[in-house]
Structure formats: structure tokens, C-alpha cells
Structure 1
Amino acid sequence: MLLTSLNPAVVAAGADIADAVTIGGTTLSRSDLVGAATSVAERVGGASRVAVLATPTATTVLAITGALIAGVPFVPVPADVGAAERAHILTDSGAQAWLGELPADPGGLPHVPVRLHARSWHRYAEPHPDAPAYVMYTSGTTGAPKGVQTSRRAIAADIDALSAAWAWTPDDTLVHGLPLFHVHGLVLGLLGSLRIGNRFVHTGKPSPQNYAAANGTLYFGVPTVWSRVAADRQAAAALSSARLLVSGSAPLPVPVFDRLVEITGHAPVERYGSTESLITLSTLADGERRPGWVGLPLDGVQTRLLDDAGDPVPHDGETIGHLHVRGPMLFDGYLNRAEATADVLAADGWYRTGDVAVVDEAGMHRIVGRESVDLIKSGGYRIGAGEIETTLLGHPAVAEVAVVGLPDDDLGQRIVAFVVASTAAEAVPDELIEHVGQQLSAHKRPREVRLVAALPRNAMGKVLKKELT
């Protein structure tokens, strides 16, 4: 059963938790979840798909849980998405109704409300493991967003593998303040908690103060969140009593990693995944946690790194290759996009991630970045932007940085660093270029450093490098 901890037999046997889910000012017990979500299931059973406005509220939790109980795939829709993108998601997914909250413009779809105090104890048969759980739309960096179809079996396999990797148990209290329309906040945070059976606390705004007050054992955050926590010594110190700090969705800067270790005593767990693959790589609760490295393949996962000719690259920790992954948590394909699916998902199960990485002799992986924006080909060299970014973040004058390759008539691409200056020291472009030259090979030095007030980011904190020109 995907929602293991919500099995009515488990609850009836005494496994209820009075504060199983706390979100948006509401606390739901385990029996609250079962009764209210089953009431939702009764109203949506038989639908092909429903749209859920994925706000951090109890209504969203019950809408999603009720759809899963009924075996109705749901489509999480960001609350702040633009009108054109929302219309595309609704049309492309074929959602038949809004379940739960309504956006300002519902696009003509009927509304199925969620009643927080309604209860039903009807028993639903568990849907087939291969049935789709949801259709989640990608950010659409190239063209319109694509609907990623993910099965119940894939979600269960991924959560179980993470349970083993992170020693994640029902005794944990999982805390985060991330959106519920992405894998990180929705699948790992909410659905993971519903499967494992731990307490789940959503902080609303993921501020250092809210994290510090949550009294969790397991914390999830994106690098932007951890950077703010690390900058607030008092809040960070309050996390010393936690068991595990987990960072993902973008690379965690090494200085932030180091500061969290210094203040909390915890080396953060870093992991890697995507909407299409869920989580496939992670450092381990009882293993090495190396700054800038995302760890080993989870149980059941295989990886391979290939060069441009399709040949394996050496596992020397230096040679960059295109990352492919295979495992039971992969998606079933893009909705209505057979050609796009075939471009990335081979018949033998290998998924071409679009990321480039290196792997060392021990099997530890470091993600260099996206093929399209983080693999820079300059003067005949293949250069990873991430290595240069890490080096620049080691300079006291650099608070944030994004490195890109811009077109160059002579070099093919020239390395340009966009830097947000810190207040600790004066940021002088020539000095920053020289700093990289002292740490890395000469061909990895930026040809130009541009000082900017901020870097463009999406809702998950990822830098939108295609906007840097």
C-alpha cells in the first residue's frame, strides 16, 4: 500500500498519532487523515484526473491523500503559476475538476470542495502499483511544460530506498517549508511521511526562525534555505538536536555546508534527483558526506557516465560524462509526448538525465550541472561550471555566484561569472579571476566577472542560468 501509515487496519490497531500532520495552522491526527481523506475519495472516485492547487494547507493534504486513496491521479498546480501556464497544464492534463482550493481563474472546470471536518470510513481497494499516482509538470526550460507521469510503485520504491539510506523511521518528525508542487516538498516530504508513518510539520515560510522552532529530527531544505539558516547562528544552533539535515534541488555551496557543520555539528546529507527520476543518488546517514558530492546510487539504482561518443568515462573523480540512471523509481513517460519520452527514456530502462557529472573510484557522484548550461566548451576544453562556482564561493567577497559559457568567436564559449557580492570584503573582478587561476587550471579562469544585485531563481531556489546573458 502506497500510503502505508494510513491503512485503516494500522490505525485501528493503535498506531494513531495525534499530530501526524501540522500545516497551515491545522493539525491532523492519523485518524483525521484517514476519515477526512476517505470522504474526499468518495467525491472524486471514478474521475480520470483532478487538479489540485498545491498551497501549503490542510485542504491540499486531504485533496492529495483522498485522490490517492481513490486511485485518481492528481495534477499539482503551483498557486503562483501564470495564467497561460496554468491553462496549458489544465488542457494538457485533461483534469476534470479542481479538487480543494480554487485559483482566481478556474478555467471553466467544476469544483469539488474538501470538507475538513467530514469523515468516512469506507474501505477502498488498493489501486494497482503500476497505476499513475500523479502528473507533475516540469518547469518548461525548453518549450511548454511537460507532464511527468509517475506510478504508485515508483513512489513507494523511492521512499523505501530513502528510508534505508537515511535511517528514516516512524519515530522521526520531518520538517520543511517547501512547495507542495515539486518532488522535494510533495513526494519526499508529504508522501514520504504518509508512507513511513512519521510526524510531518510544514513550517509555511521556510525561515530560520520557523525551522528552529519546529523541534524536528529530520529537516529538508534547498540551498537558499540552508544558506539563510547558516547565516543565523542562533537558529542554526537550535537544529543541533536534529538527527539529519537534508539538502537538495540544487547544489549546496561548500561554505554553507561547512558553516552548518561548524554550528550544528551535522554534515548535511546531499542527494540528487529530478521530476522524472525521483531521487536516485544520496549520501548516507551512516556514510561519508563530502561537500559538493551527492553520494552513491540508492538501492536498486544503476548509473553510467558516457562521453559524447557514448563510451564510458573513467571513474577518476575528474572526467565529465553525461549521466544516465536506471531504477524502479523512474517515471512512466511524458503525458501525450511519446516522442519526447523516447528522447530521454530508452527501451532498456536507462534515463538520460540531461545532467553531467563525475564519479570517483568509490562510486561517489558529483553533479557538474546541466548539459545545456553547465558544461562549458571553451578553447577545446570541457569545463564544469560547478567547480568554478565552488572556488569563487570560497572567496570572502562572494555571497552567490553563477558561472555560464557565453558565445565567443575565438573560444567557442567564454567563461563568465555573475557574482553577488558579500559584505565581508570588496569584490574586485580582476582579483576574483586571479583567485580562480590560483586554485584551478588556467583554462578554467573566468574571462569576465560581472557584479549583480541578485541571481534569477525559480521557486525551488535553482538559478535560471538561461536568463544570464
Structure 2
Amino acid sequence: MSSPRPPAFPPLFPALAAAPDLPALRFGERSLTYAELAATAGSLAASIGSARRVALWATPTLETAVGVVAALLSGVPVVPLNPKTGERELGHIVADSAPSVVLAGPGDELPEPLRALERKDINLTGVTTTPEAPVEPDPESPALIVYTSGTTGPPKGAVLPRRALATTLDALEDAWQWTSDDVLVHGLPLFHVHGLILGILGPLRRGGSVRHLGRFSIEGVKKELADGATMLFGVPTMYHRIAEALPGDPGLAKALSGARILVSGSAALPVHDHERIAAATGRRVIERYGMTETLMNTSVRADGEPRAGTVGVPLAGVELRLVDETGAETADPREVGEIEVRGPNLFTEYLNRPDATAAAFTADGWFRTGDMALRDDDGYVRIVGRKATDLIKSGGYKIGAGEIENALLEHPGVREAAVTGEPDDDLGERIVAWIVPTDPEQPPSERDLADHVAAQLAPHKRPRAVRYLTELPRNDMGKIMKRSLHA
């Protein structure tokens, strides 16, 4: 009697078989068609199929893209590793995730914590045949284990099932009208959700193509958008540099104006930069909101109103609510509350951390994001900051740092701004503005900035102290590291 056949699940990347001659990946002068990607990734997948987990040395290269596709084809969970991670943190990630194999480019030199693992080089040449495609794993099986930034302790590994990847990418297909005709350009790192899942796996799931810049540059963006790319992904730091360059670069303005969609994520894009880009190009940058544990939750839709300062509306399949300090849903959605989400886009667990997993969810299955937001009457979400660092309780008011930062950035004397709270005997917390002035020789005064914010927002939201810096501390994604400001 024959054994029952395993259930058939739809593949994550149907275009590997359906679009063999079309371009899939391009990194600089190196590229692969879908047929070539199927052959190289399929050959590597066959060689790692018995591994429990694999680590991926995630450099911004063609090898990394092939490595992650190979792991997903094989059904073996893959742990993307940031090459800039310090040895102690890397040691924790490797010990916690316990991969048996590390995938790397042939010329990559690996640090000590990875040298004890079996190494498989990701070779892009010499493969002449495409192996038979493996059986598609169950949608609930782990696809990636992505480690969080570890701001409140050692990084935690968020286990992302195949179901979450497919759900998020298909919801973005709907929200952004993403098709196989789209060509995406970006220069994001490839060890996190934005650059790897959205920026590499997104185009491949759609059957389109991606052109990775290796690293972000204004010239690279301009060249690719002028040469047929239709989508640009970036973080606020990148769009800020674009906004700064636009007045003196008509070629950049023309290239951006020809793009179908410009997407910013990973942190809030200041309204001032939104307006400068729109004025110069006629194109509005749209924002989306997600995190490692949830992938994407909301986005401004391609066919919706591109409203600056918001991250749009919940994606298809995502439930979103705002709750107060007691955990009850806010009576008025226009009041600041913590975002909780529920849906098929969520991770399954923190690896080896049942305590942290249980603490992250409510009893009825909502994930506590730790992000604070307001909601417009028509459902658009406005994030005002993180609960831990950006919700300031001053004089009886709950104040989001984000709206004060946007107001400060509208002052001509301010180039960059961050806002935090610190203890105050009278107010509970006082608002502190950290400013990088436009002209370091003539910075705006504390009184000038306080009056500016009070006039834009309300007197109780004005900064009570101003500290001047030459630059703000940022991580690899351009997010401001506010804990470092006080440290």
C-alpha cells in the first residue's frame, strides 16, 4: 500500500518556473534570469536540504539573494546575519539559533562565531541544469528567523512562517498595485524585513525584477529610474538626501517623476521632506508600517490619498486597534493609544523564548507592537512614536515625540531633530529637543524653537530644553537611536 502523498501548497515563487527568460535579479553588472536563478538556487537548495537551520552572511550582493531563495526552496529556516554585527552579539545569535550550515559568498571572510559551522559557498557559475523543484512546505513552517535590534536586552529571534511572507507580499500587491511589469530599485541592507523580504522576495513573488544598488546613492537611483525602473524603496535618511539634492539636479527630479511608486519605511518620513519631493517631482512618497514580528501592517494605497505624516490604512487581512494603558480599546480613535494587531502576517514565536512570546500577545491573540498612534476619522494611522521612548507624559498630557519632531523640522534653522522626555520634578517629564542646526555657527535659540513648536502645535508641547549636536546617532536603517542620546 502506497503512502499518502503530502498536500500540495502553492509555491512562494511561481515565476521561477513560469517566467524563465525574464530578468529576476541585477546587482550592478551582474544579473540572473528566472531560469538562472532557479538553477543556481535549486542546486544550492538540494545541498542544504538536510540541515536543521542555515545562517546567511547577508552582504548586499547577488549571492545573498540566491542564498535566501535557496533556503526557502529547500524548506530549511534561514537566519540572515548582519555583517556589521559585533562579535559578542553575533555569538549570541549563532548560539541561540544553532544553525548547522552557514551560507556565504566565495570571497567572504567570516568572523570567529561562524567558523565552527559547515560552510557552503554560494556559487553562481558552473550550474548547468535545474534540479526538480522540492515539495512546497506547509505554510505554517518556519521560513526565516530574523533577530530584533535588542534595544532592551539580547536580540530575540522572530520566527516568520511562510504564511506570513506570502500574506504580506500579496497584501502589498493589492495595496501598491504591484505587478510582474514592475522593476524595483533599492540600496537597502539585506538582513532585515525591508531590504530582504520586501525588496528581494517581493519582486520575485510577483514575477518582476529588482535592481539592487549595492549601496544607496543618488546617482544610482537616478540612473535606474531613468532606465525603466518603476518603484523605489528607501528609508527616511535616503529620501532626505534626495530632497536635499533635488534643487540642483533636474535629472534626478525627472527620473523620480517617472516612477510609478516611491515607498518609504522603517521610520517616519518628515513632512518637510514629503513636501519638498512632491514640489520638485509631482510624485508623492507613500509610507507603510511594519516590524520584524508582524511584517507589514498598514500602507498608504497606490489608489488612495497620499497623506503625508501617515502610514495609511490596515492591509488586507490585518486587524488593527488602539488601546489605552489598561488594555481597553480607546473610546476615541483620535486619542493616542498603543497599536495592537492581529492577522496572518504575524510571526509564530520568539525562538527559545516562550516567556517573551507570551508577554507579546494579549489573551485574545493581539500582538502588542509598542508603537503609539492616532487614527484619523477615515482610518488613516498616524504613528507618534514608541511607547518606551517616544510617549512623553508631561503636565498631565500624553504627548507623542513624532509630531514635535515634524514641527521642529519645519523650522528653517533645523536640519535634523529628535525629541525625548526626561524626568522633571514639576511636570513628571520635560520635553527635550536634540537639534542638528542648518548652520552650526548660528543655531536657532531655545526660545525661538519653543515658540515655533507652541505656535504649530500647542504650548504644552514646546521643548523645555534644547541640546545641539553635529549629528544624530542612527542605526543601519537610519533610525535614530534615542537611548544613545541620553547615554
TM-score normalized with structure 1 length: 0.96
Aligned to 1:39: 43
Aligned to 1:364: 380
1:16 aligns with 2:21: yes
Aligned to 1:26: 30
1:310 aligns with 2:314: no
Distance of aligned partners of 1:253 and 1:355 in 2 relative to their CA distance in 1, 3 Å threshold = same
Aligned to 2:160: 150
Q: 2:230 aligns with which of 210, 217, 220?
A: 217
Aligned to 2:173: 163
Shift in Å, 1:54? 0.5
Aligned to 2:192: 182
User: What per-residue deviation string (whole Å, max 9, x for no partner) do you get for residues 431-465 of structure 1?
Assistant: 11111111222111100111110111110010001
Distance of aligned partners of 1:453 and 1:150 in 2 relative to their CA distance in 1, 3 Å threshold = same
Shift in Å, 1:377? 0.6
1:336 aligns with 2:336: no
CA contact (8 A) 2:322 2:333 kept: no
For 1:49 and 1:24, locate their aligned partners in 2 and report how far apart those are by CA, in whole Å: 30
Aligned to 1:75: 79
1:277 aligns with 2:287: no
1:53 aligns with 2:57: yes
For 1:165 and 1:253, locate their aligned partners in 2 and report how far apart those are by CA, in whole Å: 22
Aligned to 2:433: 417
CA contact (8 A) 1:2 1:152 kept: no
Partner SS state of residue 80, structure 2: strand
For 1:316 and 1:73, locate their aligned partners in 2 and report how far apart those are by CA, in whole Å: 39
For 2:190 and 2:74, locate their aligned partners in 1 and report how far apart those are by CA, in whole Å: 20
Distance of aligned partners of 1:330 and 1:187 in 2 relative to their CA distance in 1, 3 Å threshold = same
Larger displacement relative to structure 2 (339-348 or 78-87):
339-348
What is the aligned residue count?
A: 463
For 2:156 and 2:135, locate their aligned partners in 1 and report how far apart those are by CA, in whole Å: 30
CA contact (8 A) 1:230 1:236 kept: no
For 1:346 and 1:236, locate their aligned partners in 2 and report how far apart those are by CA, in whole Å: 47
- Calculate percent identity across the aligned residue pairs: 48
For 2:290 and 2:11, locate their aligned partners in 1 and report how far apart those are by CA, in whole Å: 20
Residue type at the aligned position of 1:116: L
Q: 1:193 aligns with which of 195, 200, 203?
A: 203
Partner SS state of residue 75, structure 1: strand
**Which blocks of at least 5 consecutive residues in structure 1 are unaligned?**
none
For 1:104 and 1:342, locate their aligned partners in 2 and report how far apart those are by CA, in whole Å: 34
Distance of aligned partners of 1:439 and 1:308 in 2 relative to their CA distance in 1, 3 Å threshold = same
Shift in Å, 1:45? 0.6
Q: 1:240 aligns with which of 248, 254, 257?
A: 257
Aligned to 2:416: 400
CA contact (8 A) 2:157 2:351 kept: yes
Partner SS state of residue 153, structure 1: helix
Q: 2:117 aligns with which of 94, 105, 109?
A: 109
Q: 1:66 aligns with which of 44, 63, 70?
A: 70
Aligned to 2:447: 430
1:227 aligns with 2:243: no
For 2:286 and 2:332, locate their aligned partners in 1 and report how far apart those are by CA, in whole Å: 22
User: What per-residue deviation string (whole Å, max 9, x for no partner) do you get for residues 113-162 of structure 1?
Assistant: 11211243222111111111010000000100000000101100000000
For 2:416 and 2:100, locate their aligned partners in 1 and report how far apart those are by CA, in whole Å: 43
For 2:111 and 2:160, locate their aligned partners in 1 and report how far apart those are by CA, in whole Å: 28
Partner SS state of residue 287, structure 2: strand
Aligned to 2:7: none
CA contact (8 A) 1:2 1:156 kept: no
User: What per-residue deviation string (whole Å, max 9, x for no partner) do you get for residues 230-275 of structure 1?
Assistant: 1112224321110000000000000100011111211111110100
Partner SS state of residue 467, structure 2: strand
Q: 2:142 aligns with which of 117, 132, 136?
A: 132
Residue type at the aligned position of 1:283: V
CA contact (8 A) 1:24 1:56 kept: no
For 1:324 and 1:89, locate their aligned partners in 2 and report how far apart those are by CA, in whole Å: 27
Q: 2:394 aligns with which of 378, 384, 388?
A: 378
For 2:456 and 2:64, locate their aligned partners in 1 and report how far apart those are by CA, in whole Å: 48
Partner SS state of residue 4, structure 1: coil
Larger displacement relative to structure 2 (108-117 or 168-177):
108-117
CA contact (8 A) 2:16 2:37 kept: no
Find runs of 4+ consecutive structure 1 residues off by over 4 angstroms.
Answer: none
CA contact (8 A) 1:6 1:33 kept: no
Q: 1:266 aligns with which of 256, 262, 283?
A: 283
Shift in Å, 1:100? 2.2
User: What per-residue deviation string (whole Å, max 9, x for no partner) do you get for residues 284-342 of structure 1?
Assistant: 1010111111110000111111111222224453x100110111110001000001001
Aligned to 1:3: 12
Aligned to 1:389: 405
TM-score normalized with structure 2 length: 0.93
For 2:299 and 2:450, locate their aligned partners in 1 and report how far apart those are by CA, in whole Å: 32
Partner SS state of residue 384, structure 2: strand
What's the RMSD between the two structures over aligned residues? Answer: 1.4
For 1:179 and 1:400, locate their aligned partners in 2 and report how far apart those are by CA, in whole Å: 23
Partner SS state of residue 184, structure 2: strand
Partner SS state of residue 459, structure 1: coil
Q: 1:442 aligns with which of 450, 459, 463?
A: 459
Shift in Å, 1:60? 0.9
Shift in Å, 1:229? 0.9
CA contact (8 A) 1:388 1:436 kept: yes
